[in-house]
Structure 1
Amino acid sequence: MKAVQVTGYGDISKLSLVEIPIPEPKENEVLIKVKACAINNTEIWMREGAYGTDSKSGWRPEGVLFPRTPGSDITGKVVKAGKLVEESIVGKDVVLFPFISSGEEGSEHIAEDMSFIGSEYDGGYAEYVVWPAELCFDMPLSSYAESAVFSVSGLTAWHMVKQIQAQPGETVIVTGANGGVGSLNVQIASKVFGAKVIAIIGDLESKEKIKELGATHVVSYKSDTFVEDILELNGGPVDSVLDVVGNALFSTALQVLKNGGKFCISGSAGGQKTNLDFRTLYLKHITMYGSVLGTKEEFKDMLKAISEGRIEPVIDKAFPLEKAKEAQTYFKNKGKLGKILLLPEK
């Protein structure tokens, strides 16, 4: 089969298109013909070594073992079952829960042995992938491409909104609202949990589309009166911030949060380190959350909301598998709206 492998830490030259054997499912696994795989920051940061030191960067302390096939937002059709798996699963269209861990229900995502598909296991930048049968769920939509945009971004966004306990009548700021996690944060906070959303983006070209996703207001961080704009639109400080940007908007987020406000971060595309005056936290009684992924129960709840039409897929562009380098380069462009896809059969 064709696959794209990361051969080591570095730039996109570390992505290599190869021909390798189709994997065999173990007794509790299934073989899936990949139909679509969405791109996430996580596989780019894995390649770039952003999760640790250059020699040991990954979800596990030992770092990534190369070569590794990335890709964690995967949909496809089950074509073979391991000997302990019910044969009835063969032929099903599935979406993959993106990690394995021994954590108890409700804490799977924080277990020490949490291992991620596309980082600790070979992922979806390939024509086939193997994965435990119990972590394969029915697709929420009939389209492989549309169903592939939720697994990592959607689960992360759902867990973020759950952590801040968003409520009807509250105001939530969503940074990076045009991105994969951000566009889902907008939808989940507003359409599922009933909060008022102020979406933060750079250029306002996608303003109307983001309003369609559920944002009450859309604000550009390039405004000379950025903080004042937010406070005026909301009539005062906001209840919570859902952040995927990091350093670039961190000080603004703390400024516009109310006393007793909540700040939840799941990414740092705008800078991984920041200066923090602790007095801001304790004098304003701010609660901070670090967040990535979520639980299987949250995954199921998310899939249900998608199937009910409460959350919609937002896709910017699709690339064939062979153009993974171009796709990852495009992914890092500012101004895109929604997810970038790799389609092995395109």
Structure 2
Amino acid sequence: MMRAVRLERQGPPEELKLLDLPDPAPAAGEALVRLHACGLNRRDVWIRQGLYARIQLPCVLGSDGAGVVEQAPDRKWIGKRAVIIPCYGWGPDPKVQSRDFFILGMPRQGTMAEKIAVPQSMLCEIPAHLSFAEAAALPVAGLTAYRALVTRGELRKDEHVLVTGIGGGVATLTLLFAKALGARVSVNSGSAEKLAKARSMGAIAAVSYKEKNWEKELVAQAGGPPSLIIDGAGGDGLNNLLAASSGAARIVVYGATRLSPSKLDMPKIFFKQVDIRGTTMGTDDEFRAMLQLVERARIQPVIDRVFPLSQAVEANRLLEESAQMGKIILDCTK
């Protein structure tokens, strides 16, 4: 038997129950991983709140996981530290996922557990400089950030990049990745504490989006407008991003925590010749390329707090409040 945190039904964090469940039985081609750490994602909140597609409950949530391989078809994997690619079934076209694309943690068992069985092809070795907790901070956020910056954003060295909503897992890793790739990075946030932290991480400009016409202050601080913007909020703030952007800028959108804009400044899009590009998750090859960047640049993800698995309710409540700087992690051994 193993301990696992299962969502019984939609509702508040208290609907997440710590249970004893049967150990997963690996199918042909699958490996069994004893999990040491699990990272939380906004997706877990959306499923719990009924804001996600094709919800099937009860289910063990969690898409980010790192641990030690206990069983595998290729015995060379046994005993190795591994981080798990968080999605499967992307399909043959690297430009867009197939209809069979799924993310771990609903409907398939996720990583809020002591053990998980996944296809061996989803295993990657953890870079030597990372702890289990740091590795578990990477899968969903790191893959999303890498594809947004490199594949969809076509980041260029020395380019000015604006990362919105600094503090979230994707945004924080986007800042770290962009810096490692030679970009100049600006950020915004509604938290003075998070803006100060971003400056300490190398941001050249940091402004509060609560201020009217904040985009003008950002351009002034940075000495010019951004030509690449990575955004996970959407909403009416998209108009501020259009106002902040340079001519021929690319705006890459990976989420919509503020939903759709009530109006959109269309003239700025065509007069400025701005590209708005969507992105979500990424391919297995992009995940491996992200890990190579982390290893080469010795990037260490920012972790806000580590909770024991037994305190998953408290951890998910903190995530729902969006008060964290970086990732919230569960220690699956406690």
Task: Using structure 1 for the length normalisation, give the TM-score.
Answer: 0.90
The alpha-carbon deviation at position 92 of structure 1 amounts to 1.3
Q: Report Cα offsets for 1:210-252 as digits up to 9, x if no partner.
A: 2343311221222345122012123343212111122152221
Q: Which amino acid aligns with 2:144?
A: T
Query: What CA distance in whole angstroms lies between the structure 2 residues aligned with 1:235 and 1:215?
Result: 13
Identify the residue that residue 57 of structure 2 maps to in structure 1.
66
Relative to structure 1, the CA distance from residue 197 to residue 240 in structure 2 (aligned partners, 3 Å threshold; closer, same or farther) is same
Identify the residue that residue 274 of structure 2 maps to in structure 1.
286
Question: Residue 75 of structure 1 is aligned with which of 61, 66, 82?
Answer: 66
Give secondary structure in 2 for the equivalent of 1:259: coil
Please list, as runs of the form range in 1=range in 2, the aligned pairs for 1:65-144 lying within 5 A after superposition: 65-81=56-72, 85-101=73-89, 103-104=91-92, 106-107=94-95, 110-140=97-127, 141-144=129-132
Q: Which amino acid aligns with 1:241?
A: I
- How many matched pairs? 330
Identify the residue that residue 259 of structure 1 maps to in structure 2.
247
Query: What CA distance in whole angstroms lies between the structure 1 residues aligned with 2:329 and 2:116?
Result: 16
Relative to structure 1, the CA distance from residue 144 to residue 208 in structure 2 (aligned partners, 3 Å threshold; closer, same or farther) is same
Q: Where does the alignment leave 5 or more consecutive residues of structure 1 unmatched?
A: 52-56, 58-62
Q: Is the 8 A contact 1:263 1:287 kept in 2?
A: yes
Query: What CA distance in whole angstroms lies between the structure 2 residues aligned with 1:77 and 1:185?
Result: 27
Query: What CA distance in whole angstroms lies between the structure 2 residues aligned with 1:152 and 1:114?
Result: 14
Matched residues, percent identical? Answer: 31
Q: Where does the alignment leave 5 or more consecutive residues of structure 2 unmatched?
A: none
Query: What CA distance in whole angstroms lies between the structure 1 residues aligned with 2:90 and 2:280?
Result: 17
Matched, 1:185 2:197: no
Identify the residue that residue 15 of structure 1 maps to in structure 2.
16
Q: Report Cα offsets for 1:160-187 as digits up to 9, x if no partner.
A: 0011112123211101112111111111
Q: Is the 8 A contact 1:177 1:185 kept in 2?
A: no
Identify the residue that residue 41 of structure 2 maps to in structure 1.
40
Give secondary structure in 2 for the equivalent of 1:137: strand
Query: What CA distance in whole angstroms lies between the structure 2 residues aligned with 1:136 and 1:230?
Result: 41
Matched, 1:325 2:313: yes
How well do the aligned residues superpose, as a CA RMSD in angstroms? 1.8
The alpha-carbon deviation at position 65 of structure 1 amounts to 1.9
Q: Is the 8 A contact 1:242 1:263 kept in 2?
A: yes
Q: Which amino acid aligns with 1:67?
A: P
Relative to structure 1, the CA distance from residue 18 to residue 325 in structure 2 (aligned partners, 3 Å threshold; closer, same or farther) is same
Higher mean Cα deviation, 213-222 or 310-319? Answer: 213-222
